[in-house]
Structure 1
Amino acid sequence: MPVLNVAASGSSGNCCCIEHGNNLIFIDAGTAYKNVADALSETDICGKRISLFLTHEHNDHIKGLKPFLNKLKPTVYSSEGTACELERKGFDVSRFMITDPDFLYELEDFSVTPFAITHDGHEPFAFRFDFGDKKIAMATDLGVAGTYILEHLGEAESVILESNYEEKLLTEGAYPEYLKRRILSHRGHLSNKDALNTVGLLSRERLKKVIFAHVSHENNSYELLDRYSAFCRDNFGVEAMYLHRETVIRKIEL
């Protein structure tokens, strides 16, 4: 069974790893390598095939990329837009595997389908991974979850889904107005309300488990997410939990 190891999740940094068989499948490298080492022991890493899928080029998703590349030597997958932005930032992207949205890539022991999301990066992606008997999707940093995104997420039994902010906390909070507008926009982040609506729609498909992620420190609360997780279980029959901000978590069954 695939398991999720979390080195970081939240507005300050993001890096998760799906562990399955001989594969370590990382999504983003937006944290210090120490946190990666805390999430995965040397035994976990030794001899494994290591892949890194980059969602987009924002700092909270790539700020640990250089040490990550130097230490783990992963095969890196990204969109052309993300690779171009990283090259502009000084990264050597010559060995990146450039992927297109909506194309099924057959890799060793698993396959992956990137799909486009609405966010203010340069060609940002979410990903759906297929392990034969289990499909897992990860979608954060999306301003909206429209029909196209729901079609991709609807194929998965387990979804790691953004639940970034509570709208009232954001609109009445201390953030400057331009930042509030960015977060609330269709190229911003997914609210708790929209995440719940998404889970409700996906519960009619294959969804069995949701893990809420990319939780804002200033504009969300664990108390609210406890309530929303219970709501998903009680009303949709979906197992639900959330990732604590900037906290290493090991071996979450997917």
Structure 2
Amino acid sequence: MQLFITSLNSGSNGNCYYVGNQREAILVDAGISCRETERRMKRLGLSMEKVKAIFISHEHSDHIKGIAVLARKYNLPVFITLATLQNSRLDLSGIEVIPFLADAPVQVGELSVTAFSKLHDAIDPHSFVVAYQDVKVGVFTDIGSPCHNLIHHFQQCHAAFLEANYDEKMLQRGRYPYYLKNRIKGGKGHLSNRQALALFTAYKPDFMSHLLLAHLSKDNNCPQLVQQLFEKHADGTTITVASRFEETPVFEITAKAVVPKPVYKQFSLDFS
């Protein structure tokens, strides 16, 4: 039993994440063009014929702008909350639109996809956990703060896409206007490197084999800085920084047989 994962693109210029088994797959978000999605899938040796659905996290354009063309071309159902759909201004006529609810698993073939609510400045934002038998992969981006929902699901994942959007000093010293800096760090914007690292070091399960650091800011972060920061604390987990310009390799995620350790950690860790 295994899941195969890749980031097709990750950043404010577009987000699209692939999770699948040998027979079927889903995309979480479709923020790059249909043509670019196809090109990147082909370079990776992945078939669009395996993709059976698109799940949408929220209505911001970098997560939805490729949906309509992609879904129509491949006759893909789009799973999206009603509030997100209403605020997206998408024309999904002729496309099968299926609302989902938080904490209610959706079955796509042998994949089980569970959404949960998150903190972000969108109308009804969600993160996702994709499960196949005993293997779980989380897609955790566009998060203002690590809430209890995120902590709970992160601890169960064999691999995860986790946002590390900005370096706090770079944001503070950077060219962004004051209101935008406040929006990014204000609790419903994005996770900083420090917040993501605190979550990782405190709540990473022993069986987490891969962490893909996602949605890095072009202006307020540095891929090399993030890679070095997390590798110091990797403890056996493969660290990959997802690019805003190209796809990552495809990673095979399996369930490791490990003896669970007693968990004494509390939910009082300060992520501010």
TM-score by length of structure 1 reads 0.91
Q: 8 Å contact 2:154–2:160 — kept in the other structure?
A: yes
Give the 5 Å matches for 1:1-12: 1-12=2-13
Contact 1:8 1:35 in 2 (8 A): no
Q: Is the 8 A contact 2:18 2:26 kept in 1?
A: yes
**Cα distance between partner residues in 2 of 1:92 and 1:201:** 45
**Which consecutive segments of 4 or more residues in structure 1 shift more than 6 A?**
none
1:116-151 Cα shifts (integer Å, max 9, x gaps): 010011101100011013111101000001222111
- Residues paired across the two proteins, number: 251
The match for 2:81 is 79
- Which deviates more from structure 2 when the two are superposed, residues 20-29 or residues 159-168? 20-29
Separation of aligned partners in 1, 2:226 and 2:132: 29
| 3-state SS, counterpart of residue 233 of structure 2 | helix
Q: How far is the alpha carbon of 1:70 from its aligned partner?
A: 2.2
Please name the residue that 2:67 is paired with: 65
Which AA in structure 1 matches 2:200?
V
Task: Structure 1: give runs of 5+ residues left out of the alignment.
Answer: none
Question: Which ranges of structure 2 fall in alignment gaps of 5 or more residues?
Answer: 254-272
Q: Share of identical aligned residues, percent?
A: 28
User: Separation in 1 of the partners of 2:71 and 2:108?
Assistant: 20
Structure-2 residue corresponding to 1:169: 170
1:48 aligns with 2:50: yes
* C-alpha contact 2:8 2:247 (8 A) present in aligned 1: yes
Does residue 218 of structure 1 match 2:219? yes
Contact residue 130 and residue 136 of structure 1 kept, 8 A: yes
Q: Residue 53 of structure 2 contacts residue 108 of structure 2 at CA under 8 Å; is this kept in 1?
A: no
Query: What amino acid sits opposite 2:84 in the alignment?
Result: T
Q: Considering only aligned residues, what root-mean-square deviation do their CA atoms show, in Å?
A: 2.0
In 2, Cα distance between equivalents of 1:240 and 1:89: 35
User: Are the counterparts in 1 of residues 71 and 95 from structure 2 also a CA contact under 8 Å?
Assistant: no
Q: What letter matches 1:19 in structure 2?
A: G
1:248 corresponding residue in structure 2:
247
Asked if structure 2 preserves the Cα contact closer than 8 Å seen for 1:79 and 1:99, the reply is: yes
Q: Which residue number corresponds to residue 260 of structure 2?
A: none
Q: Distance in 1 between matches of 2:3 and 2:164?
A: 22
Q: Tell me the distance in 2 between the aligned counterparts of 1:204 and 1:191.
A: 21
Counterpart position of 2:153: 152
Q: Secondary structure of the residue that 1:81 maps to in structure 2?
A: helix
User: Take 1:94 and 1:65, find their aligned partners in 2: how far apart are those partners?
Assistant: 10
How far did 1:20 drift? Answer: 1.3
Give the secondary structure class of the aligned counterpart of 2:32: coil
CA distance in 1, matches of 2:212, 2:173: 27
CA contact (8 A) 1:31 1:60 kept: yes
| CA offset digits 1:143-179 (Å, max 9, x no partner) | 0012221112211111110000001000110001111
The letter for the 1-side match of 2:77 is T
Shift of 1:49: 4.6
Instruction: Sort the Cα spacing of 1:206 and 1:252 in 2 relative to 1 into closer, same or farther, 3 A.
Output: closer
Q: How does 1:201-216 map to 2 (within 5 A)?
A: 201-204=202-205, 206-216=207-217
SS of structure 1 residue aligned to 2:232: helix
CA contact under 8 A between 2:171 and 2:220: conserved in structure 1? yes
Residues 219-234 of structure 1 mapped to structure 2, 5 A cutoff: 219-233=220-234
TM-superposition CA deviations, 1:24-81 (whole Å, max 9, x none): 2101110122221122129733642521010011011111122212222212112222
2:186 corresponding residue in structure 1:
185
SS at match of 1:44: coil
| Cα deviation, residue 114, structure 1 | 0.3
State the TM-score, normalized to the length of structure 2. 0.86
Distance of aligned partners of 1:19 and 1:195 in 2 relative to their CA distance in 1, 3 Å threshold: same
